[in-house]
């Protein structure tokens, strides 16, 4: 048992470097909290396949999990393996994506499934490098799938992780607007030092990856953090400093109404509802500005999300 000296976390970081003893206390508390309070999600079940984990990570990018779960279940019912998705038309993936947003992710998943069939015998590859080589899989997703599906203790850094570490270790209200090298280094130092050599540290690191994300999603939220419910409130440098206000560059929320994203989404909605090609006139009312609608339709064609046909007709890609 690691002794816990008094005094909170004011001395937890020196130039952004967490003190090992403090980090051990943070990990133990957060992991214990997760064991009691973590959400029961299907992709966290022990019998969930690596494919199910990969789907969940791609779907959850910039999307609330409450919206992800029903779509995830539908995909797993229709396409329980990479091979089954690769055998379907790309347009069916876009149709089943529904209103999750950023529908190019559906196409990238279809492309990734095709690559898995061609290069990995229809299986999700089990190394970070091979995962990163899949279409649409970036550094975060590759690390997350390696950790959650294959128990490889990669460093997993998302917005929630960055916010928890910024507050608990650095004493900041919010992290930088975009991921910095310093934040990546901080997340690395927050992991158990022996995570690649000691089985217990490996297990601790993989639990920490999901537990710290869950803490950021449920308790250490961006607005209105629930510090009274936080398992590490007394260790948090930001909380013990009186929760000083954010003093960084302005943080602007993403607009939606009237944007190209909204119009693109409406065009795709209209195409999803039709199981046959539609004339362009069927899409004209997708936005208030006809020029914007045409521009968005052109961009969807360029992205491969819409397939143009003869006689001014359009459909989801076959």
The stretches of 38-127 forming alpha helices (DSSP H) are 50-59, 65-78, 82-86, 90-97, 104-119
Q: Per DSSP, what are the bridge partners of residue 313?
A: 279, 309
Q: Report residue 218 as tokens.
A: 């449920």
Q: Tell me which residue has tokens 């950023």.
A: 102
Other Cβ atoms within 10 Å of 275 Cβ, number: 10
Q: Which residues are catalytic?
A: 57
User: How many residues are given for the chain?
Assistant: 318
Q: In what order do the strands lie in the sheet with 313-315?
A: 278-279, 313-315, 307-309
Alpha-carbon span 25 to 282, nearest angstrom = 60
Residues 269-277: contacts with CB within 8 Å, 24+ apart?
269/99, 271/306, 271/314, 271/315, 271/316, 272/94, 272/95, 272/98, 272/316, 274/315, 276/315, 277/309, 277/313, 277/314, 277/315
């Amino acid at each position: 048992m690691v002794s816990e000296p008094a005094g909170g976390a004011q001395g937890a970081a020196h130039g952004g470097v967490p003190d090992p003893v403090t980090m051990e206390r943070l990990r133990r508390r957060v992991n214990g909290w997760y064991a009691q309070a973590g959400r029961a999600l299907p992709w966290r079940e022990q019998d969930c396949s690596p494919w199910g984990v990969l789907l969940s990570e791609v779907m959850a990018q910039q999307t609330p999990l409450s919206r992800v779960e029903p779509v995830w279940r539908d995909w797993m019912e229709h396409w329980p393996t990479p091979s089954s998705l690769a055998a379907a038309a790309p347009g069916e993936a876009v149709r089943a994506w529904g209103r999750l947003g950023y529908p190019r992710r559906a196409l990238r998943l279809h492309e990734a499934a095709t690559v898995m069939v061609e290069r990995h015998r229809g299986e999700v590859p089990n190394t970070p490098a091979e995962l990163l080589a899949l279409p649409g899989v970036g550094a975060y997703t590759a690390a997350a799938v390696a950790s959650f599906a294959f128990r490889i203790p990669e460093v997993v850094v998302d917005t929630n992780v960055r916010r928890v570490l910024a507050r608990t270790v650095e004493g900041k209200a919010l992290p930088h607007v975009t991921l910095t090298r310093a934040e990546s280094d901080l997340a690395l130092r927050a992991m158990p030092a022996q995570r690649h050599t000691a089985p217990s540290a490996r297990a601790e690191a993989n639990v920490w990856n999901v537990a710290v994300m869950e803490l950021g999603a449920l308790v250490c939220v961006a607005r209105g953090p629930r510090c009274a419910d936080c398992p590490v409130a007394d260790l948090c440098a930001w909380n013990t400093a009186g929760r000083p206000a954010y003093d960084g560059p302005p943080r602007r929320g993403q607009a939606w109404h009237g944007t190209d994203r909204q119009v693109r989404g409406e065009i795709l909605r209209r195409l999803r509802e039709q199981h046959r090609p539609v004339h362009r006139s069927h899409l004209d009312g997708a936005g208030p500005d006809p020029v914007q609608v045409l521009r968005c339709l052109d961009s969807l064609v360029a992205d491969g999300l819409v397939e143009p046909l003869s006689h001014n007709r359009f459909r989801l890609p076959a």
